[in-house]
Amino acid sequence: MFYLSHLPDTLSTMFTHEPLISIVLDNPQARAVIIALHGFGANARDLSSFSRFGTYPFSWRFVQAPIHLGGQGFAWFPQDISKIPLEDPLSYFHHLPETEEPDIHTASERVISTIKQLRIPENLPIILAGFSQGAMVTLDILLRKQIPLHSAILFSGMPFHIPTLTKLLEQSVESGSPTPLPPIFQSHGVADPILPISYGTQLSNHLKSYCLDYDYQTFQGYHEIPDYILNRALEFVWERL
């Protein structure tokens, strides 16, 4: 779900920008559609097994990130992958709370454009879910409110540029909405070696004051989505339909 092995020795020639593609799995009994964004180095198939989990009647859209890392790996950002140092690739992500990265918003705009082209029935609420880097893009889309979301699921995410995050949260209150943010489910492994649990807690601390229906679940695990956490997430959004 986060594959650093996809980083090639020569960054400048290995990355191309592909058009977004999506795996579409419809359920004729669906009461909502879940749009899922994979993590860094994965692809649209990575989370597609979610559609076979549990008994909840959802339709699914699994969107593939636009930046090709070679092989089967794709990323949401940065567009200039040379920003990620080969000797310590995680340092790029660990500095995101202090570093402004406009490519996150660029990625979210691509996703929003894709969602609008997916021809989702107007009567189906949209639930946006993301894992790791996909959770950061999910968060940006959630806060900018360019599409109506029923709820959001953030698996193993972290805050991006704190001043930008704070500004977007404050703007959500200034909009006058009695519920600035829709229901949010968040999870994070306490032994996550990729994005440590401190990032998950930091994100939760920022969001929960602006969301009246917020569930933050930690678990004994790593950078992953255990089955029981996935079930909790699906149960969370299902109960609110």
Which CATH number covers residue 92? 3.40.50.1820
Residue 129 burial by Cβ neighbours in a 10 Å radius (0-12, 13-18, 19+): buried
Distances (CA, A) of 85 to 64, 66, 76, 82, 114: 24, 20, 17, 7, 30
Distance of CA 64 to the CA centre of its chain: 12
What residues make up the domain containing 150? 4-238
pLDDT computed for residue 177 by the predictor: 65
As a whole number of angstroms, the distance between CA 233 and CA 108 comes to 22
pLDDT computed for residue 137 by the predictor: 98
Going residue by residue through the chain, which has 241 residues, state the pLDDT in tens, using 9 for 90 and above: 544 444 444 443 244 444 488 999 999 999 999 999 999 999 999 999 999 887 899 999 999 999 989 889 999 999 998 999 989 999 999 999 999 999 999 999 999 999 988 889 889 999 999 999 999 999 999 999 889 999 999 999 999 999 999 999 998 877 666 667 999 999 999 999 999 999 999 999 999 989 999 999 999 999 999 999 999 999 999 999 9
Number of domains present in the structure of the chain: 1
As a whole number of angstroms, the distance between CA 62 and CA 72 comes to 15
Residue 85: how many other CB atoms lie within 10 Å: 12
pLDDT computed for residue 176 by the predictor: 64
**Tokens of residue 58, six digits:** 């959802």
CA dihedral 31, 58, 212, 145 (to 10 degrees): -90
pLDDT computed for residue 158 by the predictor: 98
Do 156 and 135 meet the contact criterion of CB atoms below 8 Å apart?
yes
